A and B are shown apart, each in its own frame.
Chain A
Amino acid sequence: MSLGNTAAAKRPVLEAQGISKHYGGIVALDKVDLTLNEGEVLAIVGDNGAGKSTLIKALTGAIAKTTGVIRFDGAETQIDTPGDAKTAGIETVYQDLALVNEISITKNVFLGREIVRDDWLGRWLGVLDFKKMDAEIRDLFDKLDIRIADIYRDAEAFSGGQRQAVALSKTVMFGKRVAILDEPTAALGVRESKMAMDLVRSLKDHGLSVIMITHNMQHVLNYCDRVMVLRLGRLVAVRDVADVDGDTLVGLITGAKEAGAQA
């Protein structure tokens, strides 16, 4: 239970307690707690293999957690499949698993939530309404300033930055409450990184609460409200971003600095 100041004043959207994940004898995640407050951007940092991706996969039903309880809007919620998370209003961009190369941008954005025609063909045979899906994507890309014209082309034809922008746009389109992003700027150039982070900011402006995994300390300091640090599967610190600097964070990540009380 956090005794903090600013953060505790806000209402928590998503709370997780005692999340563990064991792979056989390997403890990838050891009883980690997490609180995401309404309207904040929460960063998760840690070295490679610290358990960041495992944590958000366990949170969103992508993998079965070994132990742990999840509360959404204060009520205990079963999130056992990715579908459960989406139903709750949580939209996730997983690391390296954002798009299917073989299908178009439109089909990627709407995968799993395709719009069917508003007639008997749609209702009975699941005939898709491509016109409507294309139009919604054009609106969305306009709004987010994503410059991709040929949304009919297969996803593999696009650059890393464009693909990441498409993946992020999915969270704007469908995320009702929470967006979770696993390294949204990994392998992106300077310009593309800035574009991705602007999208993160606009998620916040759209009223979503955001969890973002990153290795970029500058992004934590510039775009996030709080930060949690994982090391070897354990939670070692939670801080308000206002109270830390880059060196402190690096110290916490590597273990050079031992953590005191949580923010």
Chain B
Amino acid sequence: MSNTDGHSGTSNPGTSAAWIVRIRHDLMQIWPVLASLILIYGFFFTMSPPFRSIDTLLSIFGQASILAILACGTTIVLISGGLDLSVGSIFAVVGVSVGIFMAEWGLPPFAAVCLGLAIGAALGALNGTIQVLTKVPAFIVTLGGLTAYKGLAEILASGRDLSRFPDAFKFFGTGNAIPMVIMFAAALLTGLFLTKTRLGNRAFAIGGNEEVARLSGVPIAKSRIYYYMLGGLLAGLAAMVEVAKLNFAMPARGQSYELYAIAAVVIGGTSLFGGRGGVGKTLLGMFIMQTIIVGLSYLGVGTSYQRIAIGAIIIAAVYWDVWRRTAR
């Protein structure tokens, strides 16, 4: 029950004892992350008067939302002991593709969205399939995917003006509110998947001890392909929200998103080594990261220094993960 999403307490399995055990367990795991978020927010709150406005708070959530949708997929993959460095490029391919579907082919938004999700899922599944067939490590296969899919996005987009989309599509990027709603919906569904379903629960077992899972009769290869597929699908969803928000698509979008997603997932407390984590943690991690980025810019700290800060936090978060593992 290594899951911490807020909604998991609503329909718990088993008796009330299960309920209490899980809440206590989740709180034990999550309090350092929650405390960090409050401390960091409090720090910028005292340091910068303009930071105190409710608009700033909303923009933190709003800016976090697109990356957070993508990071839901990263959460699944990391829990299962995998790694996907290509989701930023899948993001670019799907963004460009839905642009072409609507701006060039004139497809209705609904059809474009469905196709976009399918493309994201297919590219993710391809990563997983290559891995289980060739046994080449995830790091290498998805590093290949990172450049290959980026190239694909550039080829698709070259010489095209992908902008000015139908209002029904742009709606999904309206303000901070709609992307936030989509983020929470994606997180809720991901959390339900991880905690309630057979395939989702097996991600923890495979990430925790793949050999035991295999000996227990869990189909490892097939399950892994599904996890990468879901990672690609969520990257595609995030891409479409961004295209709707910007009202244009270009292959440069999504650059480094995979790293920010991994950072948020790990800062939230999901293990980089698999077996533990949850999507609620990922949201917290994303809010921490975004609060730091927004807060530092309010204090006049440039983007280059922000990157250094985020880098240091990632290392600290992984250190904490390693420390927790060895301290047990």
Which residues of A line the B interface, CB within 8 A? 62, 81-83, 86, 92, 94, 97-104, 106-107, 111-114, 116, 125-128, 130-131, 133-134, 149-150, 152-154, 156
Contacts and interface: CB of A to CB of B under 8 A. Distances in A.
B132 interface: no
Contacts of B208: 100-103
A103 B217 contact: no
Nearest to B218: A112
Contacts, number: 98
Contact of A83 (B14, B22, B25, B217): B217
Nearest to B206: A100
A100 to B, nearest CB: 4
A223 B205 CA distance: 34
A94 B215 contact: yes
B209 A101 contact: yes
Contact of A152 (B18, B211, B212, B219): B18
B53 interface: no
A92 B215 contact: yes
Interface string B1-26: 11000000000011101100110010
Contact of B14 (A86, A94, A134): A134
Interface of B: 1-2, 13-15, 17-18, 21-22, 25, 196-199, 201-202, 204-205, 207-209, 211-219, 275-276, 328
B275 A102 contact: yes
Lowest 4 A-B CB distances belong to which pairs?
A: A130-B13, A102-B208, A102-B275, A112-B217
Contact of A150 (B21, B199, B202, B214): B21
A152 B202 CA distance: 16
Contact of A126 (B198, B204, B219): B198
B217 A100 contact: no
A62 B214 CA distance: 8
B296 to A, nearest CB: 35
B276 A134 contact: no
Contact of B212 (A97, A114, A126): A97
Contacts of A103: 2, 201, 204-205, 208, 275
Contacts of A149: 17
Contact of A153 (B25, B199, B202, B205): B25
Nearest to B207: A102
B214 A152 contact: no
Given A82-B217, A104-B1, A113-B216, 20 more contacts: A97-B209, A98-B212, A99-B212, A100-B205, A101-B208, A102-B209, A107-B204, A111-B202, A112-B216, A125-B197, A126-B198, A128-B13, A128-B197, A130-B18, A134-B13, A134-B15, A149-B17, A150-B17, A152-B14, A152-B21
A111 B218 contact: yes
Given A97-B211, A128-B196, A130-B13, A154 B217 contact: no
Q: Which of A98, A107, A126, A152 has the most B CB atoms < 10 Å from its CB?
A: A152
A154 B2 contact: yes
18 contacts: A83-B219, A97-B209, A100-B205, A101-B208, A102-B2, A103-B208, A104-B1, A107-B201, A111-B205, A111-B212, A111-B216, A112-B216, A112-B217, A112-B218, A128-B197, A130-B13, A130-B14, A153-B21
